[in-house]
Amino acid sequence: MSERGSIIYLEGVTVDFDGFKALRNLNFIVDYRELRVVIGPNGAGKTTLLDVISGKVKPVAGRVVFGKDTDLIGLQEHEIATLGIGRKFQTPSVYSNLSVWENLDLSLKRTSKGVFATLVSKPDRAEIEKIASTLETIGLTEKADDRAGALSHGEKQWLEIGMVLLQDPALLLIDEPVAGMTDRETEQTGLLLQSLADRRSIIVIEHDMEFVRQIARTVTVLHEGTVLCEGPVEKVQADPRVVEIYLGRQKEADAAAAR
């Protein structure tokens, strides 16, 4: 894979939490307009991977390159967000005391998000239309004036997806989007993510294998901070090493349950 064609390129990335290596010499590449699913057992480093890309965690070694040649290491989270990397967190994080509309309005991509520019900025028509159409996409038009804190869990997840979408990111990082969702919500979320991948790259972390099969084209399996294998979902599922780490855990869990 050439570096030129990739939207995100990690080379030799190591993250060290006081001696614990959450990522070890990790190499990871995602192409433009790719929907990539990252799976792996707990503690494999999935969330840390997103933390490194979005600037929350600084690696001790390695390179992180966004697009053609933007080095992300050393940039702050909000700077990385402004460059065009959006992130949706595992637990829904929305602004409970603002209305759904205000939540979306603040997330909208703007030329300046500095204090004074924001102080005097006024809503313009193009922005209002964008927000309205996003409300449509996430199915919350009726609840635009409601306090976000009053939404259901699934609605909050969707609101946060809408907020990240309004940032118009070239790369979208999504951490367990369907955790706690009903089957119907899960399926709708899958369709939404697939439709988004037409225009941007998406990295999804997921546990729900059924959901992975629904959306995935390429799957990366992480294990103990490195890439174990990578490929189409059927191939990955048939890989004996993957079976080993997942089933191994399963056996242990079964044994524990039987005791």
Partner 1 sequence: MGSKINNERERGEGLAFWLTGFLLLVIMPLLNVLPGPDSWLHVSDFALNRFGKFLAFGILALGLDLIWGYTGILSLGHGVFFGLGAYAVGMHLMLTIGTESVYGSMLPDFMVWNQVKALPFFWKPFYSFWFAVAAAILLPTLFAAIFGFLTFRSRIKGVYFAIITQALALSAWLVFNRNDTNLGGTNGLTDFKQVLGFRLSDPGTQRTLYVLTVLSLGAAYLLCRWITRSRTGKVLVAIRDSEQRVLFSGYSPGNYKLFVFVVSGALAGLAGALYVPQVGIITPAQIGVLPSLEMVIWVAVGGRGTLIGAVVGAVGVNWARSILTSSFPDLWPFFLGGLFIAVVLLVPDGLVGLWRRALDGWRGLGRQTAMPEPEGKG
Chain residues that interact with partner 1, rule: CB under 8 A: 54, 76-78, 81-82, 86-87, 89, 93-99, 101-102, 105-107, 109-110, 113-115, 118-121, 123, 144-147, 160, 163, 167
Calculate ∠ Cα 57-63-73, nearest 5°: 45
Question: Between 72 and 221, whose beta carbon lies closer to partner 1?
Answer: 72
DSSP state of 75: -
Please check whether residue 53 is in contact with residue 38, taking contact to mean a CB–CB distance below 8 angstroms.
no
CA pair distance 235, 133, nearest whole angstrom: 38
Question: Between 61 and 117, whose beta carbon lies closer to partner 1?
Answer: 117
Question: Between 98 and 209, whose beta carbon lies closer to partner 1?
Answer: 98
Q: Which residues contact 103 (CB under 8 A, 6 or more apart)?
A: 94, 95, 148, 159, 163
The pair of three-digit structure tokens given for residue 258, joined into one six-digit string: 């039987």
Question: Between 42 and 111, whose beta carbon lies closer to partner 1?
Answer: 111
Q: Which residues contact 66 (CB under 8 A, 6 or more apart)?
A: 7, 8, 9, 72, 80, 83, 84, 85, 171
> Minimal distance in Å, beta carbon 220 to partner 1?
22
Q: Is the dihedral of CA 16, 19, 25, 27 positive or negative?
A: negative
Question: Between 31 and 127, whose beta carbon lies closer to partner 1?
Answer: 127
Calculate ∠ Cα 226-44-21, nearest 5°: 65
For residue 42, the surrounding DSSP H or E stretch is none
> Minimal distance in Å, beta carbon 231 to partner 1?
30
Please check whether residue 196 is in contact with residue 14, taking contact to mean a CB–CB distance below 8 angstroms.
no
> Minimal distance in Å, beta carbon 174 to partner 1?
12
> Minimal distance in Å, beta carbon 107 to partner 1?
5
Question: Between 24 and 56, whose beta carbon lies closer to partner 1?
Answer: 56
> Minimal distance in Å, beta carbon 173 to partner 1?
9
> Minimal distance in Å, beta carbon 59 to partner 1?
18
